[in-house]
Amino acid sequence: MRPLRRGWAFTLGALGGALGFTVTGLRHLQYKVRLAHLNATFVPRPDDIFISTYPKAGTTWMQMILYQLQTRGRGEFEHILQVAPWYEQLARDGRWRHLESLPAPRLLKTHLLYEQLRPAANARCVYMTRNARDTLISLYHHVSMHSRVNVDFDRVFEQSLRGRPGQPSWQEHLASWWPHRHDSNVLWLRYEDMVKDLEGALHKLSTFCGLPFAEEDKPEILRKCGIDYMRQMSARFDPRFAFYDRERRNTGGFIRKGGVGGVDSHFQERHQQRLDAEVARVRRELGITEAEL
């Protein structure tokens, strides 16, 4: 199936109106068809490594960490998606063959639910969670960056908690992956723990993913996975640049703070109260302690 082009917008609008669908709904339907095709034709390798997170929960950081472990701190790239592509984007853009060109072990990022991904029993999944407040604030700035305007914070906040076509809610993603966090082929890591002890996380990931490194490699791996280095290379992580696009302009802004418990004027007391209620409900339903989430 060939990717839809912008010139099809009017045709899609007319067709959508006749059938009772929106253009967004039709594009989502096309994406679901492509994703189903990718899942049906995807040939797993026994050493595949999936990076699973809810959006803005440390995905890019984990891509960088695993790639630097894989290359023992020597890895260079024009864009992170060249070496650790987004599984769903390959489906959306019809670029399935890119998977075949990746060296082993393949590093694949995903925001899919567990049941949508259906990872093979011998695949390894690095599952990363992050404080809900920090995640949603980061997601807001991410959406604003893509929109090139300051979008309405309430809209992003509500969509994150309610979900929308093609994007499950924060709660739904957590409920899907949480029961599998202790599976033998899943390594669960907390963003906050990694901020406190990145070196310890490196050793856990090295052992779990089968990516050994020498002690002399560690300083360079830590340097390249640090916030200062990644900010300097921000354009190489910016999703607005496709992984096949060689033109690069340093817009900055994609790599922001990368910390824990930041202050943001958009996040008000009413948002905190609503989020606290949702987090408390999810903890009760899934049996999650405050120390875990």
CATH number of the domain enclosing 109: 3.40.50.300
Tokens of 120: 């093979």
Does 108 map to a domain? yes
Does 107 map to a domain? yes
Instruction: Answer yes or no: do 125 and 204 share one domain.
Output: yes
Q: pLDDT higher for 254 or 104?
A: 104
pLDDT at 12: 41
Instruction: Answer yes or no: do 50 and 106 share one domain.
Output: yes
User: What residues make up the domain containing 92?
Assistant: 44-131+168-264
State the pLDDT confidence band at 79, using cuts at 50, 70 and 90: very high
- Contacts by residues 86-89 (CB-CB < 8 Å, ≥ 24 positions apart): 86/110, 87/38, 87/50, 87/112, 87/117, 88/31, 88/35, 88/112
Does 121 map to a domain? yes
Give the relative orientation of helices 170-177 and 132-147 as an angle to the nearest 10 degrees: 120
Instruction: Answer yes or no: do 179 and 214 share one domain.
Output: yes
Does 269 map to a domain? no
Does 273 map to a domain? no
Tell me the mean pLDDT in the region 65-90.
94
Q: Which of 28-37, 132-141, 236-245 has the lowest mean pLDDT?
A: 236-245
Instruction: Answer yes or no: do 13 and 87 share one domain.
Output: no
The pTM score is: 0.84
State the pLDDT confidence band at 245, using cuts at 50, 70 and 90: very low
Tell me the average pLDDT of the chain.
85
Model confidence pLDDT, tens digit, residues 196-223: 999 999 999 999 999 999 999 999 999 9
Instruction: Answer yes or no: do 16 and 84 share one domain.
Output: no
pLDDT at 21: 52
- Does 262 have pLDDT greater than 70? no
Distance CA 279, CA 247 (A): 42
Instruction: Answer yes or no: do 120 and 64 share one domain.
Output: yes
Does 272 map to a domain? no
Instruction: Answer yes or no: do 48 and 21 share one domain.
Output: no
Q: pLDDT higher for 164 or 63?
A: 63
Instruction: Answer yes or no: do 246 and 190 share one domain.
Output: yes
- Does 27 have pLDDT greater than 80? no
Instruction: Answer yes or no: do 216 and 249 share one domain.
Output: yes
3-state helix, strand, coil split of the chain in percent (to 5) is: 55, 10, 40
Instruction: Answer yes or no: do 122 and 11 share one domain.
Output: no
Among 36-45, 53-62, 227-236, the range of highest mean pLDDT: 53-62
Structural domain total, the chain: 2
Burial of 89 (0-12, 13-18, 19+ CB in 10 A): middle
Does 122 map to a domain? yes
pLDDT at 260: 66
Instruction: Answer yes or no: do 185 and 97 share one domain.
Output: yes
Instruction: Answer yes or no: do 188 and 242 share one domain.
Output: yes
Tell me the mean pLDDT in the region 171-185.
97
DSSP 8-state assignment for residue 164: B
Of 112, 100, 90, which is closest to residue 45 (Cα–Cα)?
100
pLDDT at 40: 81
Distance CA 132, CA 23 (A): 31
State the pLDDT confidence band at 243, using cuts at 50, 70 and 90: low
Does 271 map to a domain? no
Tell me the mean pLDDT in the region 44-51.
94
Residue 10 region by backbone torsions, left for phi larger than 0, else alpha for psi between -120 and 50, else beta: alpha
- Does 247 have pLDDT greater than 90? no
